Each structure stands twice: as structure tokens, then as C-alpha cells.
């Protein structure tokens, strides 16, 4: 009863400092690329997620009936909420939209390293353009973030493909339409399940053994030229990927990107480019995942609008940053600590704190009688810049003693000059 819900986290101030540090980098990278922030409620209608393609996410809902008998759920991802928001203003929003958010998402999954039952997920999406430049712009946001936190292409890789690759392969085998998304979802589980189980599940979807072996031989291609010879020069998927790689070169981010035909993603709605960020050592779960989803609105009863985006969790990246020694030492870092030398001077200390705060300084006023020794320790622990001592003789002269905690320098400063 006194424990939090399994798979959820409490954020103590030191955790919160780290989380804010991470989010500040998320926000900076998005803002540097001209994205605007949005938000939505964590509670949504369940029907927003009732997709029938067999995705794990729809089986992991934290759903319940509310007191009015409505089927609701905590959101497992942000994309359907974003789609709902876009749809509600369709026609009224100047396109393209470039929006980002850092929602908490809930999934009833098996907890393991890098996976919890709640996580914060940085979402960056562009709506209203089919241009491949939008897809590459997203990759640029990612690389910008990685650079800023000190990660390099030796640490992680953006593995990328297009759903059109599989669509063409399946199309040549006469498989299209309804079975396409469920097939992608089975294939996405390839790194978790054995080849036999995958083959079994594909057979259940009605795929012939010939189709299954063609799929399997295509998916192991991790070289773009090899794919080009497999699909042929005429292939639309090849043309799209080639222009994507050319744009990535123009952005100067090619070093971070690798073609990998096995990337198909486990969500039904993707239609074009798909990608995942993986650690190079291959020890961690996916750091980020996304892609193009041009047909989501029609599945929600609206008119389609092209869209592309990614979701980036807060858990795996923290593991990687910790492993690489890239997490900063963060302290609360108040500007000033104000201490009254004696009980009689407590009122004076309060007025000093107020004067400093009015000048925009963050002030930690010591709230009960404390010794100097304790106060120095406290200042060190919290990383304050100055100690402001309200002492009897100085106060009589209208001054306070200020000690700079970095340099150790002390001086008496007039109240008016605070």
C-alpha cells in the first residue's frame, strides 16, 4: 500500500534535476529546429487505440470504465492524441505543423532494463507535408540532441528503412492490403522470437512458405546497394531511400545513419520511412523509434494528412548516458543562502531574503536556528553561490556579511546595494 505502482517511478529532487536536464536538451533540439510544444490529457478514450492489427501496444492498455460508463485508458503513446488534435482543427491549422511534446505514457508491459510501465516520451512530429525533407529534418533533430549531450556515432546508430521496401516485396508475391500491417508487426518481433515462431505466425496470416523465405532473405539486407539490386532501379522504395540518404548528406548527418531492411516497426500505422535508434554495443532496447504515417487519420474516421515523427523514451537514453559517463553532476544551485546569526536577527534575515528575491536571486533562507558549520556544509551540498550572514554589528551599520563560496572572499555590503 505504501509502495508506488509496480513499474512506475518516483522522482526525488535529485532525479528531477536529472530529468529536467534531459528534457531541457529535448526541448532545445526541438526549438532549434522550429518546433512548438503542445500537450494533451493522459486519459483518453479507449477507442482511440482499438486497432486490430495485433500490435502489442493495444494489448497493454491501462484501461477502465469511468463512473459515467465510458471506456477510457491512460495513453500508451502520444501519436493518436496528436492525430485527434490535428483532426479536430483540420483545415484550420496552417500546414505544415511542427510540434513536439514530452508526455508520460503508460503501458502494461513486462518491466525490464530500459522498459517500465510508465515512461516519458519525447515526441517530435511534422504534419502536412509528404516531402522527404520532413523525414530528414526529424533525424537532424535527433542528431542535434545526441551532439548536445556528448554522444557520437560510435555510441549509437539510426537504423533506417522504409515500409515501402516490404510493401514491394510482398506486392510482388501478391500480398497487399489488409495483411500488410499485421505482417509488419510479426516481422518486428524477429529479434525477440525464433525464426520458427515467426514463420508460424506469418503462415497464420496466410503467407506461403515461398513468401516467408523471400521476406526473410530481404530483411537480412543491411547494405543499400544490395537492396538496389534486389528491388531494381525502378523501385519507388529505392528512389525514396536514395533521396533520403542524399538529404542526410546535405544535413551532414550521414555518419549517424545506417540502412537496415529489418527495421519495420511494431505499430500498424507506418507507411513510409521507418527508423529506430540503437546503441552500437547492441545491449540496450530501442532508444527511439519513428517513421512516416500518412494514413492514420482515415483509420480514425477523418481525411488523411501526411505525417512523420518519432517517440524517444527517457529510460534507455539515461542508461546509455550513465554507461558512457555523460551524466552531469547537478546540484540545486541556489544563488544565496541567508542565515541569521541569532534569534533576534531572524526578522532582519527575512527582510534581506525578500530584498534579494525581489532582485531575482534564488534564496534559501535558513528557517530555524542553525550553526555556521551546518550552514557551510549545507551550502556546499546544495552548490550555492554566496552565503549572506546577518550579523549584529554589521546589521547595526545597515550591512550584511557576504561570503563568496567559490573564492572564499568576504565583504560587507550595504542593504541598499543587495
Interface with ligand HAM (CB under 6 A): 77, 79, 107, 109, 115-116, 119, 121, 123, 125, 267, 286-290, 293, 309-313, 315-316
Which lies closer to ligand HAM via its Cβ, residue 253 or residue 286?
286
Nearest distance from C-beta of residue 163 to ligand HAM, angstroms:
12
Q: Which residue is nearest to ligand HAM (CB)?
A: 313
Which lies closer to ligand HAM via its Cβ, residue 81 or residue 201?
81
Q: Do 202 and 186 touch, CB atoms closer than 8 A?
A: yes
* Residue labelled with grid coordinates 510508465: 118
Nearest distance from C-beta of residue 57 to ligand HAM, angstroms:
6
Which lies closer to ligand HAM via its Cβ, residue 123 or residue 334?
123
Nearest distance from C-beta of residue 157 to ligand HAM, angstroms:
14
Max Cα–Cα distance, the chain, nearest Å: 94
Distance separating alpha carbons of residues 349 and 351, to the nearest angstrom = 5
Helix and strand numbers, DSSP H then E, in the chain: 14, 17
Nearest distance from C-beta of residue 251 to ligand HAM, angstroms:
20
Which lies closer to ligand HAM via its Cβ, residue 283 or residue 344?
283
Which lies closer to ligand HAM via its Cβ, residue 263 or residue 339?
263
Cell triple for residue 196?
A: 520458427
Backbone phi, psi, residue 70, to 5°: -90, 140
Distance separating alpha carbons of residues 208 and 241, to the nearest angstrom = 28
Nearest distance from C-beta of residue 52 to ligand HAM, angstroms:
17
Which lies closer to ligand HAM via its Cβ, residue 116 or residue 182?
116
Q: Which residues contact 294 (CB under 8 A, 6 or more apart)?
A: 130, 271, 272, 304, 305, 306, 307
Which lies closer to ligand HAM via its Cβ, residue 185 or residue 345?
185
Q: Which of 269, 317, 306 is nearest to 290 (CA)?
A: 269
Neighbour-count burial of 416, counting CB atoms closer than 10 A to its CB (0-12 exposed, 13-18 middle, 19+ buried): exposed
Nearest distance from C-beta of residue 290 to ligand HAM, angstroms:
4
Nearest distance from C-beta of residue 266 to ligand HAM, angstroms:
7
Which lies closer to ligand HAM via its Cβ, residue 182 or residue 311?
311
Nearest distance from C-beta of residue 292 to ligand HAM, angstroms:
8
CA dist 127 → 97, 102, 202, 414 (Å) = 5, 17, 33, 57
* Residue labelled with grid coordinates 486490430: 52
Which lies closer to ligand HAM via its Cβ, residue 279 or residue 364?
279
Classified as helix, coil or strand, 246 is: helix
Backbone phi, psi, residue 202, to 5°: -70, -35
Nearest distance from C-beta of residue 314 to ligand HAM, angstroms:
7
What is the end-to-end Cα distance of the chain in Å, rounded?
Answer: 49
Pairing of strands 307-313, 118-127: antiparallel
Amino acid at each position: 500500500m505504501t509502495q508506488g505502482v509496480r513499474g512506475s517511478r518516483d522522482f526525488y529532487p535529485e532525479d528531477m534535476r536529472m530529468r529536467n536536464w534531459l528534457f531541457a536538451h529535448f526541448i532545445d533540439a526541438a526549438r532549434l529546429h522550429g518546433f512548438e510544444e503542445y500537450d494533451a490529457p493522459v486519459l483518453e478514450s479507449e477507442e482511440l487505440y482499438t486497432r486490430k492489427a495485433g500490435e502489442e501496444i493495444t494489448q497493454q492498455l491501462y484501461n477502465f470504465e469511468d463512473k459515467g460508463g465510458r471506456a477510457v485508458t491512460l495513453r500508451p503513446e502520444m501519436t493518436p492524441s496528436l492525430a485527434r488534435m490535428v483532426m479536430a482543427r483540420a483545415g484550420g491549422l496552417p500546414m505544415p505543423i511542427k510540434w513536439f511534446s514530452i508526455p508520460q505514457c503508460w503501458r502494461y508491459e513486462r518491466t525490464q532494463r530500459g522498459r517500465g510501465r510508465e515512461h516519458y516520451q519525447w515526441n517530435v512530429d511534422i504534419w502536412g507535408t509528404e516531402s522527404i525533407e520532413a523525414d530528414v529534418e526529424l533525424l537532424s533533430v535527433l542528431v542535434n540532441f545526441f551532439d548536445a549531450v556528448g554522444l557520437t556515432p560510435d555510441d549509437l546508430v539510426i537504423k533506417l528503412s522504409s515500409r515501402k521496401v516490404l510493401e514491394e516485396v510482398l506486392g510482388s508475391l501478391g500480398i497487399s492490403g489488409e495483411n500488410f500491417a499485421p505482417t509488419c508487426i510479426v516481422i518486428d518481433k524477429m529479434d525477440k522470437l525464433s525464426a520458427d515462431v515467426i514463420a508460424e505466425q506469418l503462415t497464420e496470416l496466410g503467407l506461403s512458405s515461398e513468401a516467408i523465405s523471400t521476406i526473410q532473405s530481404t530483411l537480412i539486407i543491411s547494405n543499400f546497394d544490395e537492396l538496389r539490386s534486389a528491388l531494381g532501379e525502378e523501385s519507388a522504395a529505392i528512389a525514396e531511400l536514395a533521396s533520403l540518404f542524399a538529404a542526410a548528406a546535405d544535413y551532414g548527418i550521414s555518419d549517424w545513419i545506417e540502412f537496415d531492411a529489418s527495421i519495420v516497426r511494431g505499430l500498424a500505422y507506418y507507411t513510409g520511412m521507418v527508423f529506430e535508434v540503437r546503441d552500437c554495443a547492441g545491449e540496450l532496447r530501442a532508444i527511439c523509434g519513428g517513421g512516416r504515417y500518412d494514413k492514420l487519420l482515415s483509420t480514425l474516421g477523418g481525411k488523411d494528412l501526411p505525417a512523420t515523427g518519432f517517440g524517444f523514451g527517457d529510460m534507455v537514453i539515461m542508461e546509455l548516458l550513465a554507461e558512457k559517463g555523460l551524466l552531469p553532476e547537478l546540484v540545486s544551485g541556489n544563488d544565496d543562502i541567508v542565515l541569521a546569526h541569532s534569534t533576534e536577527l531572524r526578522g532582519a534575515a527575512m527582510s534581506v531574503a525578500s530584498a534579494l528575491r525581489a532582485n531575482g536571486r534564488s534564496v534559501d533562507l535558513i528557517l530555524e536556528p542553525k550553526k555556521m558549520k551546518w550552514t557551510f556544509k549545507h551550502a556546499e551540498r546544495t552548490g550555492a553561490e554566496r552565503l549572506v550572514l546577518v550579523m549584529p554589528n554589521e546589521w547595526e551599520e545597515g550591512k550584511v556579511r557576504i561570503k563568496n563560496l567559490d573564492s572564499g572572499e568576504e565583504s560587507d555590503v550595504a542593504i541598499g546595494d543587495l
